[in-house]
Structure 1
Amino acid sequence: MQESRLFRILYYLLDKGRATAPELAEKFEVSVRTIYRDVDAISSAGIPIYVTTGRNGGIQLLDDYVINKSFFSDSEKLEILSSLQSLSAVQYPEVDTILKKLGAIFQIGLTDWIDVDFSRWGTVAENENRSFRQLKKAILENCEITFDYYNSTGESSKRNVHPYKLIYKDKAWYLFAFCLSCNENRLFRLSRVKNLILTEVHFERKTDICQYHSVFPMPAEIGNLIDLELEFTLDVGYRLFDTLDDTAIIKHENGYTVKLTLPENNWLYDFLMSFGDKVTIVRPKYIRQTLKAKHEAAREHHKGE
């Protein structure tokens, strides 16, 4: 606990420049005596922190000092900077100043290693990035939002929701939110969210919803999960690795065997149909019949053209 507080004090001083002991005591909910003990601990770690008295006095770090022995190993320093840089890349410009300060103190050059563009190919980037900025504001400030939502059949409905978190899952962005019309938590695919409006209505974040887990409720429209075993020819391997998890793909002399669990929906059938005669459905066998019917329907649709 103390180590965490020491770093937070260091971070605070880097951001503010100077602080008084009572200010730090109130900030970190400890006594003034504890703050002075923390200052001694930081100083003993080789960080030049000092206390000045008088009207403009306080606790501060020596300007332009480079930490060469401190709490962090070289790898930990890089990890801290990389994490902050990733936040900066996803439109958290408020971390830029602290990022530069830490980079100077650690004496580590920053590599521009990440850039995030939320827009899809063929879209107006600014429009989609604006939607992400609106969602960020709504989530951080607990603002209710309203939008038109299109389901998998193209039907739209007006939704008012309390947004809680953005999730990137299986090559798509989702909004985890409490839907007021359904009175339950829902996962909304962002590509189907249209005409998003940030309202002036604020909501109280529920503590049980704030305890997020790695498994989120699957949208009902995604479909039931089924176990698949598929065989693909060698010449479509690049598509498999572009789309599927590597652990599901087994290469052999004549092609690829794929075993995985996927929701049964239009995406699955469109995906399988796109391979034409390059895929063989081993199981479940009823998928073969459904696929044959879809191919026949497509052939009949273009018959006589």
Structure 2
Amino acid sequence: MQINRLLEIVYILFEKKIVTAKKLSEHFEVSQRTIYRDVDVLSAAGIPIYANKGKGGGISLLENFVIKKSILSEKEQIDILSSLQGMKALNVPDAELVLKKLAAMFDKNYTEWIDVDFSPWGSNSDEKEKFNLLKTAIINKNPVEFDYYSSYGEKTKRIIEPLQLMFKGRAWYVYGFCTVKNDYRMFRVTRIKNLALLKEKFARDIPQDIWEISHEATNKMIKLVMKIEASMAYRVYDEFGQEAITKNADGSFTVTANLLEDEWVYGYVLSFGDYGEVLEPEYIRKIIKGKLERNLKNYL
């Protein structure tokens, strides 16, 4: 990619002071004409780079040139390096190479302050590979094929053009265009099985207002209000935002959350056992009560 070559040219000159076009062309396996075009591009971008032909000549930067003084402010340097750290954590190709070079040219320490693992605690290698495949498909614009299990356990075969990985409501989703439904859809990653990357390419881009477009994400939203006992404080503060929590006089909590109504929500409520109680909506109370009654029959 040209951007990586341009950056590396500046980095080489920053380290070696002067290099011939011939040496650079051999290093990058391109023609000397391409190198001179790159010099013109860098010069037009405001980098004081010069090419002196003849004996003893070569390509060099203005003496004592420092990128931070001529182009970027201190805040802009930090913002760029922070963004690249995030890209490196996501295993974006060449991000680490670019990060190291820019850190050297900005005269900044290269500190690995962030790491990202999309898979939940206790996941096996298959679950981690699922995220890697989805990331590759999104970056390279490859469709993916998989078996998908709905919240009711129904299995369908799907082919989608994946556009974005999204974290919403304490769960990971992949958003994309489903060729089976001929519409945009959101798929919960944990319900995806037998994921496979397809060789063909797609050209579709991410539309605006993703959450409004996705029917599955907008048509079943509920405002859930629960009372949770004080002994569950660790879960309350881990799983709900501060603005959603009210601490009651007896030490218990009242929490409010907007969630998608499906079997996951019912299971989530039940995971609090007798330490949690649904206050609203009333029909969700009845659903939970019915599930508890049916569950009790299994132990009679």
- Preserved CA contact (<8 Å) 1:228 1:260: yes
Structure 1: state its 5+ residue gaps. Answer: 1-6, 28-34, 43-48
- TM-score (ref. length: structure 1): 0.76
CA shift at 1:67, angstroms? 4.7
Count of aligned residue pairs for this structure pair: 277
User: 1:94 Cα shift?
Assistant: 0.5
Distance 1:93 1:140 in 2: 10
**RMSD after superposition:** 3.4
Structure 1 residue 118 displacement after superposition: 3.0
Q: 1:103 to 1:149 in 2, by over 3 A?
A: same
Moved more, 263-272 or 180-189: 263-272
Counting only pairs closer than 5 Å after superposition, residues 98-177 of structure 1 correspond to structure 2 as 98-125=98-125, 127-177=126-176
What is the distance in 1 between the residues matched to 2:193 and 2:63?
50
Deviations for 1:101-120, whole angstroms, at most 9, x for unmatched residues? 11112222122211222333
Say which SS state the counterpart of residue 94 (structure 2) adopts: helix
Contact 2:149 2:155 in 1 (8 A): yes
Match of 1:45 in 2: none
Q: Does 1:276 align with 2:273?
A: yes
- The equivalent residue for 2:253 is 256
Residue matched to 2:18: none
Cα deviation, 1:166-188, whole Å, max 9, x if unaligned, reads 22223322221211111111111
CA contact (8 A) 2:240 2:255 kept: no
CA offsets per residue over residues 10-69 of structure 1, 9 Å max, x none? 8475368677564466x6xxxxxxx75653xx4xxxxxx331222797765469965563
Q: Distance in 1 between matches of 2:163 and 2:93?
A: 21
Match of 2:229 among 230, 233, 240: 233
Q: 1:290 aligns with which of 284, 287, 295?
A: 287
- Label 1:147 to 1:267 Cα distance change in 2 as closer, same or farther (>3 A): closer
Q: Note the C-alpha offset of 1:200.
A: 2.2
1:64-75 pair list within 5 angstroms: 66-67=66-67, 69-75=69-75
Distance 1:252 1:195 in 2: 46
Inter-partner Cα distance in structure 1 for 2:87 and 2:257: 33
1:204-245: per-residue Cα shift (whole Å, max 9, x none)? x23xx4334463644638972222332222221211122222
- 1:287 to 1:137, Cα distance in 2 relative to 1, 3 A: closer
What secondary structure, in the 3-state scheme, does the structure 2 residue paired with 1:108 have?
coil
TM-score normalised to the size of structure 2? 0.77
For 2:108, give the aligned amino acid.
I
Match status 1:80 vs 2:80: yes
5+ residue gaps, structure 2, are 14-23, 25-33
Q: 1:211 and 1:223 mapped to 2: Cα distance?
A: 19
What is the CA–CA distance in structure 2 between the aligned matches of 1:95 and 1:109, rounded to whole Å?
Answer: 16
Shift of the 284–171 alpha-carbon distance from structure 1 to 2, 3 Å rule, reads closer
Is the CA contact (8 Å cut-off) linking 1:21 and 1:36 kept in structure 2?
Answer: no
Call closer, same or farther: CA 1:238–1:157 in 2, change over 3 Å.
same
- 8 Å CA contact 2:52–2:59 kept in 1: the answer is no
Deviation (angstroms), 1:88: 0.8
SS at match of 1:210: coil
Amino acid at match of 1:14: V
**Letter in structure 1 aligned against 2:76:** E
CA distance in 2, matches of 1:77, 1:221: 38
Q: Percent identity?
A: 34
Contact (CA 8 Å) 2:145, 2:195: kept in 1 or not? yes
Distance 1:200 1:265 in 2: 34
Gap change, CA 1:66 and 1:217, over 3 Å in 2: same
Indicate conservation of the 8 Å contact 2:223/2:256, yes or no: yes
Distance change (3 Å), C-alpha of 1:76 and 1:88: same
After superposition, what is the alpha-carbon deviation per residue over 1:91-136, rounded to whole angstroms, capped at 9, x for unaligned?
12412122111111222212221122233333332x3343333323
Deviation, 1:248, is 0.7
